Amino acid sequence: MQLLDGKTIAAQVRAEVRAEAEALCAAGLRVPRLVIVLAGDNPASEIYVGNKLRAAREAGIEAECVRINGTASTGDLLREVERLNADDTVDGIVVQLPLPAQMDAKLVLAAIDRRKDVDRTVEKRSVEELLHRSGVDKEGRELVVTERNIPGSLTGDMVPDGAIVIDMGFTRIDDPAAEKGYRIVGDAVVESVSRKAAWLSPVPGGVGPMLIAVLLQNVLESRKKTARDMVVTR
């Protein structure tokens, strides 16, 4: 069995995004801009948003977080999304989930301009990019994707011979011996799954690092499309 190295590939993708963002800047064009909307004060969301902002800025993307009070209504959040939709300098909009209980997440996500909804296809594209850049031949192989967030829920007897296993079950486990006091584990029992699968995207280090990298890729593509449209209009 071979492991899919999402960490290395994600670094390559981020470097490519940075190079293209710098090329836009060198050509006198506006750099890509990402806005993340954070409602409430969920501690995990604070960490995720911070990681996205840091990665975006390191990749040459202008990035900011717009904070919405946790007691706000769905209407308040919708008005903020509408404002960002109308802002021509915003190329990507992310509404960080989960939202406070009184907010309608489905309604809010549906309100994001599809041209700026850079988070919508991230999971699918991350898997596709990881497999493509790893040179995985999918022909004749079954693709098994797990994201139950239940450690140990995928065992070898559940996996066909020669399958490609994508583990997207990210669970935080307290571990005093770990540097941060916890570790992240996936759904798959690696020891048994590895005896059946041909390829495995592990946790951590598989699809996880790709999610932010592909998000940044989507922001860049949105900005480039805007630039092309401006040229055509002129």
Q: Per residue in 96-123, pLDDT tens?
A: 999 999 999 999 999 999 999 999 999 9
pLDDT at 158 over 90: yes
| Homologous superfamily, domain 122-208 | NAD(P)-binding Rossmann-like Domain (3.40.50.720)
User: If you average pLDDT over every residue of the chain, what do you get?
Assistant: 95
What dihedral do alpha carbons 21, 23, 28, 29 form, nearest 10°?
-40
| Homologous superfamily, domain 7-116 | Leucine Dehydrogenase, chain A, domain 1 (3.40.50.10860)
* Residue 50: other Cβ atoms inside 10 A: 13
CATH code 3.40.50.720 region(s) in the chain:
122-208
pLDDT of residue 229: 66
Write a three-state SS string for 121-179.
CHHHHHHHHHHHHCCCCCCCCCEEEECCCCCCCECHHHCCCCCEEEECCCEEEECCCCC
pLDDT at 230 over 60: no
pLDDT at 233 over 60: no
pLDDT of residue 228: 73
Q: Per residue in 161-209, pLDDT tens?
A: 999 999 999 998 999 999 989 999 999 999 999 999 999 999 999 999 9
Q: ∠65-68-72 over CA atoms, to 5°?
A: 165
Contacts of 176 (CB under 8 A, 6+ apart): none
CA distance 155 to 177: 26
pLDDT of residue 44: 87
